[in-house]
Amino acid sequence: MTVQSDTQSWQLCLSCGAELAEADVATRCRSCGGLLEVRHKPPELSGQALRDHFDGRTSASGVWRFQELVLPSATQPVSYPEGNTPLLYRAPLAAWAGTSDLALKHEGHNPTGSFKDRGMTVGITQALRIGARAVVCASTGNTSASLAAYGAQAGLPVFVLVPEGKIALGKLAQTVGFGARVLAVRGDFDACLGLVEEAGERLGLYLLNSVNPFRIEGQQTIVFELLQQLRWSPPDWIVLPGGNLGNTAAFGKALEQARELRLITRLPRLAVVQAEGAAPFARSFAEGFRHRYEVAAETVATAIRIGNPASWDRAVRAIRLTDGVVLSVPDAEILAAKAAIDRAGVGCEPASAASLAGLRRLVSDGTVSREQSVVAVLTGHMLKDPEILLESPALGAAAIEQIEPTISALATAVEAASRTIFREA
């Protein structure tokens, strides 16, 4: 079917080239099962005129400010609003990673505390446009919290499948609080995703995992927004954690569009960081992407505890397009990076810290040179995973000391602590 001649947006199968209408509810190609991508007719403006257009638009949402590149035909977005997250410059963290030019794009500042809100505002907007009856996702926690919030705003029933006992407390609490129906599956994330992909449509549930290409459209705006914050002067590198690889796919698509529309003239390189126990994509990259791997995933960074990433093919394209790299880091390095980020007063959840841990490795092995400019994406908020802070002595638990309610007990505690806090000048 050819639909693109008479509509503003359509969906394209990346495997076989089939086209689907924008309003088609399929989240994979109906002919070959390949991943879909949303395509739009290019905006009339490009280059400096388009940059001026975005710079001049005051929008409470850092997603809908870029509507022409996200979902041009939407007239009633379901928006919290979201996005408009800060770029942070912290000298101790640049020093920790070994670079001199580091900015942290903190996506934990989104309404539900992760970057997922950028995709969900678009996904739920699309769900209403196509008349969805209810929505569903599989999740390691952040997608479910975000879907629960945006579903509640839109008045849509939300079902989420999560791996039982394997999602962080803050995320589970949010999901329940926003009113979603939580199904704790006795299996891992990959099993949850398999279930919703297979049965979602049959059960009348619109699937809002990142296989849904409308999610990817919204997540592109992390890149548009950081480029805008850098006055459209791209960094040399963008570093992000990789799990299901939806974000990697979104970053690649955003950069491709940004270059085609001459918002930028040079592409940053992407560096995708996986946890060592959940690193099928890093392993494949090391072999020139000759094989696709699937692993039984295990890592303390539960958000990226994924063994069979769904957006694999799109992510390969993104890495090839940007001459990117993929690496993995052990849990100990993720936790060391998290401790550094937390102690700098920034804070993030464990999976987010993979960015900084990966950057440190890339600098030490010479892939990233000290002078190159880097944006590292922190994907989720520190409060998402309170257990890890309270259970791990290295992250904070050691700071809690019980005392009697007396002045002498307080004085003793302060004195003892002072010996380590106030170091000799």
The secondary structure of 54-92 as a DSSP string is HHH---S-TTGGGGGGT-TT-SS---S----PPEE--HH
Least distance CB 33 / ligand F0G (angstroms): 20
| C-beta of 189 vs 232, nearer to ligand F0G | 189
412 SS3 class: helix
Closest to 217 measured CA to CA, from 263, 249, 260: 249
**CB neighbours of 27 closer than 8 A, spacing ≥ 6?**
36, 197, 200, 207, 209, 211, 212, 213
Peptide bond into 81 cis (omega under 30): yes
Instruction: Give φ, ψ of 418 to 5 degrees.
Output: -60, -35
Phi/psi region, residue 352 (left: phi>0; alpha: psi -120 to 50; beta: rest), is alpha
Q: How far apart are CA 354 and CA 203, in angstroms?
A: 36
Least distance CB 423 / ligand F0G (angstroms): 35
| C-beta of 69 vs 193, nearer to ligand F0G | 193
| C-beta of 142 vs 372, nearer to ligand F0G | 142
| C-beta of 20 vs 160, nearer to ligand F0G | 160
Q: Which two tokens stand for residue 398?
A: 């050691």
CA dihedral 343, 354, 92, 397 (to 10 degrees): 10
| C-beta of 50 vs 376, nearer to ligand F0G | 376
| C-beta of 54 vs 355, nearer to ligand F0G | 355
Q: Are 1 and 20 in contact (CB under 8 A)?
A: yes
Least distance CB 145 / ligand F0G (angstroms): 8
Q: How far apart are CA 76 and CA 284, in angstroms?
A: 41
| C-beta of 243 vs 358, nearer to ligand F0G | 243
| C-beta of 252 vs 268, nearer to ligand F0G | 252
Q: Are 29 and 17 in contact (CB under 8 A)?
A: no
| C-beta of 51 vs 116, nearer to ligand F0G | 116
Q: Are 350 and 338 in contact (CB under 8 A)?
A: yes
Least distance CB 410 / ligand F0G (angstroms): 38
Q: How far apart are CA 339 and CA 398, in angstroms?
A: 13
Least distance CB 274 / ligand F0G (angstroms): 9
Binding residues for ligand F0G, rule: CB under 6 A, are 114, 116, 139-143, 210, 241-248, 303-304, 349, 351-352, 379-380
Least distance CB 3 / ligand F0G (angstroms): 28
Least distance CB 64 / ligand F0G (angstroms): 21
Least distance CB 246 / ligand F0G (angstroms): 4
Least distance CB 311 / ligand F0G (angstroms): 7
Q: How many CB atoms lie within 10 A of CB 75?
A: 6
- Alpha-carbon Rg of the chain, whole angstroms? 22
